[in-house]
Structure 1
Amino acid sequence: MTSNFQRLPRPLKKAQQLASCRTVRIAVLGQGAVGKTAITVRFITKRFIGEYDPTLETIYRHVFSVDGECVQFEVLDTAGQEEDTILIEEKIKWAEGFIIAYSVTDRCSFDEILRLRFLISHIHSGLKRHGDALPPVVIVANKKDLQYDRMVTTEEGSSIAQALKCPFFEISARDSYEETVAVFSLLYREVASSGALSAFRRKVSSKLMDKIPRIHSTATASLSMRSFSLSSVKDFLTD
């Protein structure tokens, strides 16, 4: 007897899913307390974290669809502390795209944009891995929900981004998941169109970068039943 029952396609196993994904390396730079971790974890978990360890530095791995394409994001959430020149150079060499974040409530973090943009251009110009093209940079102004504490206007942020020829977003990681998605999605499109994701590109790695702990988004998902904070995330860090 012939059955008319049609089997549904089986979901891809994790290994198969990742094999079909393109991987992009993103570094989130900026001074401490501007919300770099909040932006990153909001994108990965859809949740806003109210407390975290500002000294914890992590590479998050997250599979996400951009324009129907499977993308594995490797996002380096930097601590934003004063650090050795070699360390910051290794992190910048590692990444293929960058988010430079500042807080609209902190003018010093806004003033840091020019230095970080110069470092990215200077270091990648020396690598000469992608011809004359420099890695894409998106400038992100965070904490727009804190209007009464604002020290940097939207116009100032837009003007410096325009002068540096970088896309600009003013967001609230606290209030909007969609805004963080827009930032990472646009940056992926910029990296993909720049040719930096060639299958033949050389992956930059180092002993310094290998020491930074990795965490998969599937691990953070298991925290959904309780309050999410970076102190609890430490339990899920993997090498």
Structure 2
Amino acid sequence: MSSSFALSRSLRRTGSFPSARTVRIVILGQAAVGKTALAVRFITKRFIGEYDPTLETIYRHEVTIGGEAVIFEILDTAGQEEDALMVEEKIKWGDAFVIVYSVTDRCSFDEVMRLCFLVNHIHAAGGRRSGEPPPILIVANKKDLEFDRMVTPEDGETLSRGLKLPLREISVRDGWEETAAVFHALYSHVLQVLHSSPPSFRRRTGSRMMDKIPRIHSNSALTSTGRSFSFGSFRDLLPD
């Protein structure tokens, strides 16, 4: 079975939950830390190691968690320098955030604190009524590359305690379960916010900037035309 066919079948497998709760998750982090691999691993249960680092995509994935239908809208950001207004729009769009660094890249680790501050600052300025920060989970990826490690588990734990944010050290390459656990844990945090202070969790409005980002629906028949696609560019997954 070709890898392209296997992924397309996986993308088409899930059903539709019209009454499901929709949660918008933004994945942030420097380039090459594994943001796209994290999202695609969660959706397809497959690991793909190479992507076009300049692409940004919103994945729409429908699952059942604890007997409840959930729709994840996952924004995979490029992780490159860009216009401050666009960064702000992306953060305003999100309900919850995954901030990723690679244990093999000290610079990506050092970037986590700035990104956490940015998310909290923009949401606070946007008037979250509860006064609490939005749900954020830090992910330390590539723990399988132990011989290339530049950030120790203790470094991650110190950062987690300092920021008062949960951290999970995982290998997207080695395991689907711990990858899925990231999104399930973040969803649980979102539910806590909903139950404790519903007015603070309001649906983020769209914007023209966000509407320009390509969207991929995991339950869409994206390959109905019979065309193949490569993993070098996820533009090939988009309908004509």
Q: Taking structure 1 as the reference length, what is the TM-score of the superposition?
A: 0.86
Query: How far apart, CA to CA, are the structure 2 residues paired with 1:140 and 1:238?
Result: 31
Identify if the C-alpha distance between structure 1 residues 70 and 221 changes in structure 2 by more than 3 Å, giving closer, same or farther. farther
Question: Contact 2:230/2:236 (CA < 8 Å) preserved in 1?
Answer: no
Task: Give the letter aligned to residue 49 of structure 1.
Answer: I
Matched-pair contact (CA < 8 Å) for 1:45–1:220: no
Q: Is the 8 A contact 1:28 1:100 kept in 2?
A: yes
Q: Distance in 2 between matches of 1:230 and 1:41?
A: 13
Q: Which letter maps to 2:231? A: S
Deviation at 1:22, TM superposition (A): 0.4
Shift of 1:155: 1.1
State the alpha-carbon separation in 1 of the partners of residues 153 and 146 from structure 2: 11
Distance of 1:202 and 1:104 partners within structure 2: 34
Q: Is the 8 A contact 2:28 2:35 kept in 1?
A: yes
Q: CA deviation at 1:66?
A: 1.7
Give 1:160's aligned residue.
159
1:118 and 2:120 equivalent? no
Q: Matches of 1:84 and 1:178 in 2, distance apart?
A: 35
Deviation at 1:227, TM superposition (A): 8.5
Counterpart residue number, 1:194:
193
- Per the TM alignment, residue 165 of structure 1 is displaced from its structure 2 partner at its CA by 1.2
What stretches of structure 2 of length at least 5 have no aligned partner?
1-13
The answer for the alignment partner of 1:237 in structure 2 is: 238
Which one-letter code corresponds to 2:216 in the other structure?
I
Q: 1:50 to 1:202 in 2, by over 3 A?
A: closer
Q: Distance in 2 between matches of 1:104 and 1:60?
A: 25
Task: Give the unaligned 5+ runs of structure 1.
Answer: 1-12
1:215 pairs with 2:198: no
Is 1:177 the counterpart of 2:176? The answer is: yes
Identity %: 58
| Structure 1 outlier segments of 4+, above 3 Å | 196-200, 219-223
Give distance in 2, aligned partners of 1:209 and 1:227: 25
Superimposed CA distance per residue, residues 142-185 of structure 1 (whole angstroms, 9 cap, x where no aligned partner): 00000000000011111111211111100000000001110000
- CA distance in structure 1 between the partners assigned to 2:81 and 2:208 by the alignment: 20
Do the aligned residues in 1 keep the contact of 2:92 with 2:204 (CA within 8 Å)? no
Contact 1:49 1:228 survives alignment (8 Å): no
- Number of residue pairs matched? 222
SS at match of 2:219: helix
- CA RMSD, 1 decimal: 2.4
Q: Give the match for residue 100 of structure 1.
A: 99
Report the counterpart of residue 10 of structure 1 in structure 2.
Answer: none
* Inter-partner Cα distance in structure 1 for 2:221 and 2:108: 28
Aligned to 1:146: 145
Cα deviations by residue, 1:1-54 (Å, 9 ceiling, x for unpaired)? xxxxxxxxxxxx95xx43221000000000000000001100001000121101
CA distance in 1, matches of 2:95, 2:89: 12
Structure 2 residue aligned with 1:205: 206
Residues 89 and 202 from structure 1, CA distance in 2 versus in 1: closer, same or farther, beyond 3 angstroms? same
